[in-house]
């Protein structure tokens, strides 16, 4: 998984298993014979874009290294309802214990990839790219941003450490919207963190014009109307990357992209996404 370390993946799965299993899967232990061997098929119950198969494999591996998992659907590919995404064979007890966590990861990540793909399709024919945000599930950001990439989206900053994003609350707290104070902030950022991208959020065209002269790498246009987005694009030309954000939906993203902005950041990719409908169906092995 690109940009997802094996150690991070191992640790996230371990935390999930500890949370779910606790002192033991009492239901499975009391109902399933120890020697029962089954095969299971992971099946898409609706059209979706696949993301998270390596996580599924890691869940099965940690629960029982003897389980045989075969991944069928490749990451980032579209699959129809009814298609088999993967198969697993081995001890029924192990598969039952792993089932819920494996599906939780796969459903969540495939849901993110699927909705991202819809946004990407909605802006086809424009130069705009769809970006995610930091509105992710605590602890799962690397996986959720990976799922965005599998859906064809682009990752925004990963945290508070890899890119500047000065927002209105920063300026309110620092009383820093005067031109001289803004200039000092920009100079300090460039001096102390050379090469790090600088992005500044603005709420109005007047703020845009003030910020533009400080030459940030990106200007975030927060909750701009379509008319003001077009005015912003006309004002800056191609001298600064423009990013639209704030309340973006599938119904509005196409029109926003057609204003000429370079990027559109969408919190809904991760903060309120619907998990994909996926099941694990058993067959008893002879």
Query: Taking a C-beta distance cutoff of 8 angstroms, is the pair 92, 67 a contact?
Result: no
* Residue 41: HSE in the Cβ half-sphere, 13 Å Cα cutoff: 10
45 in catalytic set:
no
238 in catalytic set:
no
100 in catalytic set:
yes
Whether the CA torsion 147, 150, 153, 155 is positive or negative: it is: positive
The alpha carbon torsion through 55, 59, 65, 70 (nearest 10 deg) reads: -50
Catalytic residue among 61, 135, 190, 258: 135
167 in catalytic set:
yes
Catalytic residue among 61, 100, 118, 190: 100
Question: At a CB cut-off of 8 Å and minimum separation 6, what does 103 contact?
Answer: 42, 278, 279, 280
Closest CA to 144 of 279, 13, 45, 271: 271
CA atoms of 241 and 208, how far apart (whole Å)? 12
Catalytic residue among 61, 87, 118, 167: 167
Closest CA to 282 of 83, 106, 43, 46: 43
Chain mean position to CA 255: 23
201 in catalytic set:
yes
CA atoms of 166 and 143, how far apart (whole Å)? 25
Catalytic residue among 25, 83, 132, 222: 222
Q: For residue 217, what are its two tokens?
A: 């790498």
Closest CA to 263 of 236, 230, 238, 241: 241
Catalytic residue among 25, 58, 201, 262: 201
Neighbouring-strand partners of residue 39: 89, 283
> If DSSP codes are grouped into helix, strand and coil, which group holds residue 91?
strand
Question: Which residues form the catalytic set?
Answer: 100, 135, 167, 201, 222
């Amino acid at each position: 998984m690109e940009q997802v370390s094996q150690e991070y993946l191992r640790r996230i799965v371990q935390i999930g298993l500890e949370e779910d299993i606790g002192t033991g899967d009492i239901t499975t232990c009391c109902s399933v014979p120890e020697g029962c061997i089954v095969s299971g098929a992971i099946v898409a119950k609706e059209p979706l874009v696949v993301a998270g198969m390596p996580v599924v494999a890691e869940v099965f591996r940690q629960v029982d290294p003897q389980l045989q998992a075969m991944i069928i659907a490749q990451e980032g590919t579209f699959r129809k309802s009814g298609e088999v995404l993967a198969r697993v064979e081995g001890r029924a007890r192990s598969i039952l214990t792993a089932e819920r966590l494996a599906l939780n990861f796969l459903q969540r990540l495939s849901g993110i990839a699927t909705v991202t793909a819809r946004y990407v399709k909605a802006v086809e024919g424009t130069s705009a790219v769809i970006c995610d945000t930091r509105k992710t599930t605590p602890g799962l950001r690397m996986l959720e941003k990976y799922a965005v990439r599998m859906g064809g989206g682009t990752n925004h900053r990963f945290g508070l450490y890899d890119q500047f994003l000065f927002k209105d609350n920063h300026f309110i707290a620092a009383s820093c919207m005067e031109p001289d104070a803004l200039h000092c902030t920009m100079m300090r950022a460039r001096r102390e963190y050379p090469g790090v991208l600088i992005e500044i959020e603005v709420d109005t065209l007047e703020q845009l014009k003030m910020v533009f002269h400080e030459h940030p790498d990106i200007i975030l246009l927060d909750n701009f109307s379509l008319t003001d987005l077009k005015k912003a694009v006309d004002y800056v030309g191609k001298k600064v990357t423009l990013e639209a954000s704030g309340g973006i939906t599938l119904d509005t993203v196409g029109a926003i992209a057609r204003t000429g902005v370079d990027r559109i950041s969408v919190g809904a990719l991760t903060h309120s996404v619907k998990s994909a409908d996926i099941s694990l169906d058993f067959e008893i092995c002879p």
